[in-house]
Amino acid sequence: MHVQTNSICCARWIAWVASWIACAFVLSSAHAEQQDALAQRAVMLLKTRCVSCHGAEKAESGLRLDSAEHFAKGGDRGKLVEESSSQSLLIRSIRGDDEELQMPPKQPLTPDEVKLLEDWVKIGSPWPSDSHGSSLEVQDNDSVGNAWVDPNNPIRKLFGEERLGLWSLRPISRPAVPSVKHDGWALNALDHFVLSAWEENSTDLPLAPDASERSLAIRLAFDLTGLPPELDDIGNLTSKEQGAYDRYVDRLLSSPDYGVRWARMWLDVVRYSDSNGFDWDEFRPQAWRFRDYVVDAWNSDLPFDQFTLEQLAGDELVDGPPADEAEQQRWVATGYLRAGPQDNSSALFDEQDRSRAQLLADLTETTGSAFLGLTLSCCRCHDHKTDPLSHADHYRLRAFFAPVEYADDVPLDLPSRRAEIEKHNAAIDEEIAQVEMEMASILASAKERLKSSEKNSDENASEGSESKDPSDDAVKKSFTEEEAKRTLRSSRRKAS
């Protein structure tokens, strides 16, 4: 009995101590990490605010703050940090206790920054443990290598190596085509992969027979153009004429419907919309240009690198307003930067900063998912939970888009075509003016009737939907009149 009790007690005691040790270990390592983080921030602050005067170049007052050794040595006025930390020279000068000593002299540190250095001095002003932070001498080769090779890469520091195998970051490889038992069924490499998986897994299911020409024609047509095949096309395929299949595929690929169908996929990826996609959801009168650009890109087989470049920075490829159609297309391609949802009403409430931040975040996230195979939405607020992306990465990429400004009055039409367009539009404008006059007279008589009927009825009994948002109306009015004209024009232009 005794022995048993003791052994149980003993086991419990060991478990308790073990858990305590584990706990203490975690605590102390967390403590060390905290101190190291504090040291990194403190030394980074010295680097950004002090080293320009107290570095290798100037070393004013004989003081250098660009390495642990120099820091410990101090300058002409003596050591920076004495035993009694609150009275140390460093702290006294950054606090400005003595006006003559105030450092930095022109733009003192903020209270938070002072507090940071005070805390750092309190723990003995250690320098960061890794070799990277111990010397602050700026070198040309100070840049960080990629995370696969450089242990100092911030991503590598944050997550180690475990997240670097993300599918979208792996190099593209060409796997060996698997060999198969059923000879003759597989016509191409892809078939080999399908067949080998089938042979491994589902031996009790028979292989499906080849599709009929009719099914094939339907599948091809829907896949490539999104439209059903013509009866003739089915007939041609079923006639089993030599080369009929290849000719049909070629014809579908060269049909303009092919671009329309496949542009939709890309337009979905980049969040294209004909309207602003927020609240009032105003129509975007020029958006069709970008839509057509993507359709044309598909139909003209535009190389993907050029397609990418033009959408991200097409305006930078062109000097001044576009002079020819190629340049015009590059401007239009930047419609990509404006595809996301836009809160146009924010200015009415002086909240442009909010909607701008949302817009840039959206653009950053779209760029990540469309071009990089990375989802940058999570790291807008915190380090990514599973992918090798830090909180800072979202904002690093976002910085590229910070200069993007939106404009509606950009001269997109080529000078050579303007006269022609104006002439074409003049006739339509005249037509519109006439219709508008008719509308105005109808509205005027309706308003008259409304007024007389309102006089007869109790004010409260009228439906409440007449409440007006003046600013709302102003925006909508300017939108409807101006844009309706333009829309009409462009639709007429397309129709003519």
Partner 1 sequence: MSIRTSRRAMLSQLGGGLGTLALSTMLLDASASRSLASDRTKSRRLDPLRPFAARQPDFAPKAKSVIFLFMVGGPSQIDTYDYKPELQKLDGQPVPDSIRKALDASAHSNVFHGCDNKLLGSPYRWQRYGEQGIWVSELFPHTAKHVDDLCFIHSMQAESNNHAPASYQLHTGDIRLGKASLGSWVTYGLGTENEDLPGYVVLFDAGPLGGSGNYTNGFLPPAFQPTRLRDQGAPVLDLLPPDKFAKSQRDSIDLIQQLNMMHRDAHEGATELDARIATYELAYRMQSAAVEVGDFADEPEYIRSQYALDDQEARTQSFGRKCLLARRLVERGVRFVQLYDMPDKDGWDAHSKLTKNHNPRARWTDRPVAGLLADLKQRGLLESTLVIWASEFGRTPMMQGDQGRQHNAAGFTIWMAGGGVRPGMRIGATDEIGLMAIERPIQFRDLHATILTALGLSYEDLFFEVKWSTRETYWRCWKC
Burial 201-211 (b: 16+ CB within 10 A, else e): eeeeeeeeeee
Task: Check: CB of residue 119 under 8 Å from CB of residue 38.
Answer: yes
Applying the rule CB under 8 A, the residues between 321 and 350 that interact with partner 1 are: 343, 345-346, 348-350
Residues 279-318 that bind partner 1 (CB under 8 A): 279
- What are the C-alpha distances in Å from 346 to residues 76, 265, 408, 471? 57, 30, 18, 11
Contact flag: residue 470 with partner 1 (CB under 8 A): yes
Residues 6+ apart with CB under 8 A from 402: 360
Asked if 173 touches partner 1 (CB under 8 A), the answer is no
The site that binds partner 1 (CB under 8 A) totals a number of residues, namely 27
Among residues 181 and 468, whose Cβ is nearest to partner 1?
468
Q: Select from 301, 468, 495, 496 the one that contacts partner 1 (CB under 8 A).
A: 468
For residues 72-131, which are near partner 1 according to CB under 8 A?
Answer: none
Task: Work out how close the CB of 197 gets to partner 1 at its nearest, in angstroms, rounded to a whole number.
Answer: 13
Closer residue to partner 1 (CB): 149 or 461: 461
- Binding of partner 1 by 354 (CB under 8 A): yes
- List the one residue from 131, 143, 456, 460 that touches partner 1 (CB under 8 A): 460
The SS3 assignment for 78 reads: strand
Tokens of 494: 């397309």
Which is nearer to partner 1, 327 or 365 (by Cβ)?
Answer: 365
The answer to whether residue 471 forms part of the interface with partner 1 (CB under 8 A) is yes
Say how far apart CA 123 and CA 101 lie, in whole Å.
24
459 part of the interface to partner 1, by CB under 8 A? yes
Contact stretch for partner 1 (CB under 8 A) within 181-189, 228-236, 241-249, 468-476 = 468-476
Kindly report the backbone phi and psi dihedral angles of residue 171, in degrees, each rounded to the nearest multiple of 5, phi listed first.
-65, 150
Site string for partner 1, 386-415 (x = CB under 8 A): x-----------------------------
Residue 444, judged by CB atoms within 10 A of its CB (0-12, 13-18, 19+), counts as exposed
Q: Which is nearer to partner 1, 100 or 350 (CB)?
A: 350
In the complex with partner 1, which residue's Cβ is closer, 353 or 405? Answer: 353
- Which residue number, 203 or 460, has a Cβ lying nearer to partner 1? 460
Q: Is 472 in the site for partner 1 (CB under 8 A)?
A: yes
E runs forming strands in 206-250 = none
Q: Is 22 buried (19+), middle (13-18) or exposed (0-12) by CB count in 10 A?
A: exposed
Determine if 351 is a binding residue for partner 1 (CB under 8 A).
yes
Nearer to partner 1, 301 or 353 (CB): 353
Give residue 474's region: left, alpha or beta (phi > 0; psi -120 to 50): alpha
Q: Which is nearer to partner 1, 77 or 476 (CB)?
A: 476
Residue from 2, 385, 451, 455 in contact with partner 1 (CB under 8 A): 385
User: Quick one: which segment of 109-117, 142-150, 302-310, 469-477 binds partner 1 (CB under 8 A)?
Assistant: 469-477
Place of tokens 């980074």: 44
Among 175, 206, 209, 464, binds partner 1 (CB under 8 A): 464
Short-list 124, 120, 115, CA closest to 42 = 120
Whether cis (ω within 30° of 0) applies to the bond prior to 104 is: yes
Q: Cα–Cα distance between 85 and 74 in angstroms, integer?
A: 15
Out of 69, 230, 325, 469, point to the residue binding partner 1 (CB under 8 A).
Answer: 469
How far is 309 from 155, CA to CA, in rounded Å? 26
Nearest to partner 1 of 240, 468 (CB atom): 468
d(CA 60, CA 63): 6
* Contact assessment for residue 267 and residue 292, using Cβ atoms and an 8 Å cutoff: no
Task: For residue 465, state whether it binds partner 1 (rule: CB under 8 A).
Answer: yes
Q: Is the dihedral of CA 196, 197, 198, 200 positive or negative?
A: positive
Residues that bind partner 1 (CB under 8 A): 278-279, 343, 345-346, 348-351, 354, 358, 385-386, 459-472
